[in-house]
Structure 1
Amino acid sequence: MTDSSDITLEAVSSIGQITADEWDACANPSREVSAVPDAEQCSQDHAYNPFISHAFFSALEKSGSAVARTGWGARHLVARMDGKAVGVVPCYLKNHSQGEYVFDHGWADAYERAGGSYYPKLQASVPFTPATGRRLLVRDGVDQARVRKALAGGLVGLCDAVNASSVHMTFAPEDEWEFLGEHGFLQRTDRQFHWRNEGYATFDDFLGTMASRHRKAIRRERRDAVANGITIHHLIGRDITPDAWDAFFEFYMETGSRKWGRPYLTRAFYQQIGETMADDVLLVMAKRDGRWIAGAINFIGSDALFGRHWGAIEHHPFLHFEVCYYQAIDFAIQRGLTRVEAGAQGEHKIARGYLPQTTYSAHYIADPALRRAVRDYLKHERAYVQEAVEDLTDAGPFRKTETDE
């Protein structure tokens, strides 16, 4: 399919149908941070994001984790000018709403009850990954607005071509959310909990900004987490041995089976990222009596640490907080990263210094009746999310007056 300009558009059914060089020239032209480290919100225009790299999508697809058989049929949109890829959108044709973290099950149920077919739908996102990152991936040196417009129109055209009910772009940056809103997409918000680095030199510097009772509680939790002879280890790159991957996958399967019934990712996925992305991975592993007992996987961007999965085969008080939250903060301070994104949900993170952050998604819905109903719902939902973010921020653990000391 094409638009009316000299930009041509096609949808490919595998990440392997576009080269890593072409994809990454659009997705991650540089690993360097383009904004100053102390900026209130680091610009993500050129910050390296491991989740939108060709290697990450390749690992998902080659491992059988995100493929048509599991309900994730690749339809990646590629824009070309004079044969060169100038823009891409990661996109999947889906027959369910699992593994997305932006929930539209209610929309699907209502549409089905009204006699419509909600599936298939198109999902412009990173499978199983509730982390904000660019979705309209445009190469440097081209007319950004023009290519973005072509990609947005291409998603609508693709929706019609595959007879999908809708297009859902989730965990997009705010500027893309605004852009798509101007081009007919419905706008949705939600919240996560992120830790912000205010130029701390040490973890104690961070603790010094907290109210006394929260500061004491965190110190107690960190002490108690390792009280039973537990040691904590950071593994990156070559330090992540096959036995560490095996142990972590066991943790992931144990926890994922309880939370989701069937974990999404295969052992082959971790094999793939271990071979192609190990330098982008931080495994925080806990050991007791000579064996791994718990761990969390994080992905390292040029300006952020992204926490993903946690699991354990032994359960110790506060070990989850230590491995997932406090060690991530320690690492981010050491690396000078601007933030830690701790994944979806979890108001318990507030007491650990992770404050609410608005997240954004954009939705094109083909049926006018369903579109009207969803638009009205989202108007009220956005107001609720804004109020909740403000209230939860006010309830944060940081010192507000000298009496909090």
Structure 2
Amino acid sequence: MTDDGLKPGWLHSVNDIAKPDWQALFDNAHPFSRQAFLAALEQGGSVDGNSGWHSQHLAVWQGEQLVALVPGYLKTHSYGEYLFDWQIAQAYQQLPLAYYPKWVAALPFTPVTGPRLGMRQGTDQHAVLHVVCQFLKAELNQGKLYSAQWLYPEAELATSLAEQGLWLRYDVQFLWQNQHYKDFNDFLARLNSRKRKQIAKERAACTGLSLQTLTGEQLTDNHWRQLIRCYQATYLKRSGHHGYITPQSFQLMAKTMATQIVVFAAFDSQQPQQIVAAALCFRGKDALYGRYWGALEHNDYLHFELCYYQGIEYCIKQGLSFFDAGAQGEHKLKRGFAPVLRYGAYRFADTPLSAAIQGYFKQEHQHLQHYLQAAAAALPYKALVK
């Protein structure tokens, strides 16, 4: 117990937390902070078991009341994180030093910026973070962990973590922002002529298919079987496995998150009930998040249509401000997705590599700042007339 009466400790399932307590900590407006999302990963076997992601959520109590929570995982590898640390892991291996297990405050397989610390209203964030960071530091000092990593926290939390002595790291992603467009053509009109023609050509190439937008409530069991088939086929071709998300986890999301699920699907014109490709998205309070893509056959134009253009149209029609179409991919830049800076925060057990890691983070940040400026200059929007 700390002087503030705050007591940190581990929980090994989100279902150890009563639903009213969870709702007091996190705003359900962000889909990936919902208990239902993380529970679907746990209960469906996408995490725990042999996945290398072991549920280890950091809870803080004040007396008998749960006042804060950091969803997290004990990791034995670095897959599925997207703010990757493979180079650091390799450097440890060469010395050799143990690098795993590490603890990550992250959303499994979901590189989306959002709440990483949930708190009950009226709780002192500074006091909670101090207790949390001291608890993690003790775990490092005792050799229970070799690093504690916060992946894609919101900017304000990243700053607060830096004040607690963590090292910041950065990433660049691409985000579409709704500039009060009336419709998709209005968006196109803001682009230069070359990009307008390119996008028109790409969209025309998909006119032979039936394109549909389906909400989670409209998806049938047959739809879900086909979506999973597309997802697994794409992963199998690209990575040699069936993907990180199990069919059981998808089925649980279908039951518990239907109101936040949106699917853009392409149906075979000859077999109208057959889905040939689909992008599964989640809707937040003011944003759409593109998460899972799958297709029975590779088709770049169809990928652009379902993963980008359909999402942009949806955001315009629904009045959503942002479309986060997923990590990586400079091809998003060419289609109007602006580069944005994202964050990570790290604490490592003290080793001979500590100074080198800190220097690496600083150099990486300088490089990303230059890249961010160059990418912003390459956006295809027409210059504003002053």
TM-score, shorter chain, exceeding 0.5: yes
Q: Conserved in 2, the CA contact under 8 Å of 1:195 and 1:341?
A: yes
Aligned residues of 1:124 and 1:168 also touching (Cα < 8 A): yes
Structure 2 spans left out of the alignment, 5+ residues: none
**What corresponds to 1:249 in structure 2?**
228
Equivalent residue number for residue 123 of structure 1: 104
What amino acid sits opposite 1:121 in the alignment?
K
The residue that corresponds to 1:336 in the other structure is 319
Distance 1:4 1:159 in 2: 22
Spell out, residue by residue over 1:170-211, the C-alpha distance to the aligned partner (whole angstroms, 9 max, x if none). Answer: 011111111111111111001111100111121112112111
Q: Structure 1 residues 324 and 13, CA, compared in 2 at 3 Å: closer, same or farther? A: same
Distance 1:217-1:314 versus aligned 2 partners, 3 A rule: same
| 2:46 counterpart residue number | 65
Select which of 240, 245, 253 maps to 1:273: 253
The answer on whether the counterparts of 1:122 and 1:159 sit within 8 Å (CA) in structure 2 is: no
Hey, what's the Cα distance between the residues in 1 that align with 2:318 and 2:297?
30
Go from structure 1 to structure 2 and tell me whether the alpha carbon gap of 1:79 and 1:161 turns closer, same or farther (over 3 Å shift).
farther
Measure the CA separation in 2 of the matches of 1:248 and 1:57. 20
The reply to whether residue 237 of structure 1 matches residue 216 of structure 2 is yes
8 Å Cα contact 1:293-1:314 kept in structure 2: yes
Q: Which amino acid aligns with 1:205?
A: D
Residue by residue over 1:339-398, the C-alpha shift from the partner in whole angstroms, topping out at 9 and shown as x without a partner, is 111111100111111111111001110124222111000000001111101101101100
Q: How has the CA–CA distance of structure 1 residues 96 and 315 changed in structure 2, closer, same or farther, with 3 Å as cutoff?
A: closer
Compute the RMSD of aligned alpha carbons.
1.5
Equivalent residues in 2 for 1:301-316, closer than 5 Å: 301-316=284-299
Q: For residue 174 of structure 1, what is the aligned residue in structure 2? A: 155
Equivalent-residue separation in structure 1 for 2:7 and 2:124 (angstroms): 14
For the 8 Å contact 2:129–2:161, the answer to whether it is kept is no
CA contact (8 A) 2:69 2:119 kept: yes
Match of 1:358 among 334, 338, 341: 341
| Cross-structure match for 2:15 | 16
Picking from 357, 362, 378, the partner of 1:379 is: 362
Mapped to 2, the partners of 1:82 and 1:201 lie a distance apart of 52
The aligned counterpart of 1:346 is 329
Q: In structure 1, the residue corresponding to 2:320 is in which secondary structure? A: coil
> In the aligned structure 2, how far is the partner of 1:125 from the partner of 1:370?
24
1:141 — aligned with what? Answer: 122
The 2-side partners of 1:172 and 1:331 are apart by: 26
Q: How far apart are residue 325 of structure 1 and its match?
A: 0.2
Q: Name the amino acid aligned to 1:313.
A: L
Instruction: Compute the displacement of 1:338 (Å).
Output: 1.1
Partner of 1:196: 177
CA distance in 2 between counterparts of 1:338 and 1:175 reads 20
The answer for the alignment partner of 1:323 in structure 2 is 306
Distance 1:131 1:260 in 2: 21
Distance 1:350 1:173 in 2: 22
Question: Sequence identity of aligned pairs in percent?
Answer: 36
Alignment-derived partner of residue 26 in structure 2 = 27
Equivalent position amino acid for 1:23 in 2: W
Matched, 1:388 2:371: yes
Q: TM-score normalised to the size of structure 1?
A: 0.91
Q: Does structure 2 retain, via aligned residues, the 8 Å contact 1:86–1:138?
A: yes
Partner Cα separation in structure 2 for residue 92 and residue 162 of structure 1: 16
2:238 is aligned to 259
CA–CA distance in 2 between the matches of 1:150 and 1:135?
Answer: 15
Which of 55, 80, 88 in structure 1 is aligned with 2:36? 55
On the 8 A contact 1:224/1:317 being kept in 2, the answer is no
Aligned equivalents of 2:353, 2:49: Cα separation in 1: 26
Task: Give the partner amino acid of 1:246.
Answer: R
Counterpart of 1:370 in structure 2: which amino acid? L
C-alpha distance in 2, partners of 1:81/1:6?
A: 6
CA change 1:374–1:317 in 2 (3 A) is closer
Shift of 1:139: 1.9
